[in-house]
Amino acid sequence: MTGMGVGTTAVAVAGLRLAWAGERAQPETVVLDDFTLAVPPGSFTCIVGPSGCGKSTLLRVLAGLLVPDGGTAQVGGADVRGRPGACAWLPQRDNLLPWRRVLANATLGAEIGGRSRAEAEAEARPLLERFGLGGVERSWPSQLSGGMRQRLAVLRTFLIDSPVLLLDEPFGALDALTRRRMQTWLQEVWLDAPGERRTVLLVTHDVEEALLLGDRVVVLSERPGRIVADIEVGFARPRPAELVSDAAFVAQRAALLAALGA
C-alpha cells in the first residue's frame, strides 16, 4: 500500500526526514530518514518498532506539532507540516486536567476545535456509557481508575472532529489484564462508531496488541526509522482476546518478532 496516490489515501508521507540538532561538537541525531508511508481511509494501522526509532515522532509530524527537515506529510491531501488540527492526537499520557470533571475533560478537544461547550456536551453525554464512563460524568480525574482515565482520554480524542485518529501507546501504562480489556473495547468502539469509519494510526511496543487491533502492522527499524516489514493482518473482526492462542496468530506474531530482530 505504500506509495498510493493522494486520492486513495487518508494519510501520506513521502521522503520524510527529521533530525534533532546536536549539542556543541555532537552530530545531529537522525530520527526519520526518507520515510514513506500511505494509509487508506477507514483503516486501522499499527506501527511497531524499537524505542527511539521515530514512531511517536511520526505521529507528532502528522499532528502538525513537528516540522520535518524534508519530505512531505499530508492528511486528506492537505499539507500538515507545522499545521495542527488535521488529526485528533492522543499522546502517551492521558493529560487530563485535574480541575475539570469527567464530562468537561471529555469535551475539551471539541471546545478547542471551535464547538460550544453545550454542543460538545450534547454529543458526549450519549457516549459516556459506551465508553465505560456512565454515571461518573461529575467525577474528578483523580477518582478514576487507570482504565477509566484512558477511556476518557480516548473519548476526548473521538469527540474531536477529525477523520484521522493518532493514538500513541494509549494503553502502555496499564496492567496486562486491564490492557487486554481495553484492546477489546477500543476495537468495538471503532467498529461500532456511527458514520464513516475513522482512520487510525496506533503506535505500540506490544506485537500482540498490534495484531489484535490492526488491519496492517508496519514495522520500523532502529533509528533512523525505516519500514522493514509491512504486514497485512487477515483475521476476521471482531477479534476476541482468545485469538492470541490461535496457531495462525502465533505464527504471525513470530514473523513480526523476527522483523523486529527479537
pLDDT confidence tier of residue 2, bands split at 50, 70 and 90:
very low
Beta strands in the chain (DSSP E): 11-20, 29-39, 44-48, 70-75, 78-79, 88-90, 164-168, 199-203, 216-220, 227-232
pLDDT value, residue 6: 42
- Cα separation, 132 vs 121, in Å, equals 16
pLDDT value, residue 192: 87
Q: Say whether pLDDT at 31 is over 80.
A: yes
Looking at the chain, the whole-number percentage of residues with pLDDT higher than 70 is: 95
Prior bond of 238 cis (ω within 30°): yes
Q: Which residue has the higher pLDDT, 194 or 138?
A: 138
pLDDT confidence tier of residue 7, bands split at 50, 70 and 90:
low
- Cα separation, 188 vs 184, in Å, equals 6
The CATH number of 6-87+164-260 is 3.40.50.300
pLDDT confidence tier of residue 1, bands split at 50, 70 and 90:
very low
For the chain, domain boundaries? 6-87+164-260, 96-161
Mean pLDDT of 201-213: 95
Which CA distances in Å does 32 have to 54, 82, 125? Answer: 6, 16, 40
Is residue 135 packed enough to be buried (19+ CB in 10 Å), middle (13-18) or exposed (0-12)?
exposed
Average pLDDT value for the chain:
90
pLDDT value, residue 4: 37
pLDDT value, residue 5: 39
Q: Residue with C-alpha cell 488491519?
A: 215
pLDDT value, residue 125: 93
Q: What one-letter code names the amino acid at 24?
A: R
- Cα separation, 16 vs 70, in Å, equals 6
- Tell me: the pLDDT tens digits for 124-155? 999 999 898 999 999 999 999 999 999 999 99
Q: Say whether pLDDT at 199 is over 90.
A: yes
How much is the pTM? Answer: 0.91
Q: Residue with C-alpha cell 521522503?
A: 15
Mean pLDDT of 16-23: 84
pLDDT value, residue 47: 97
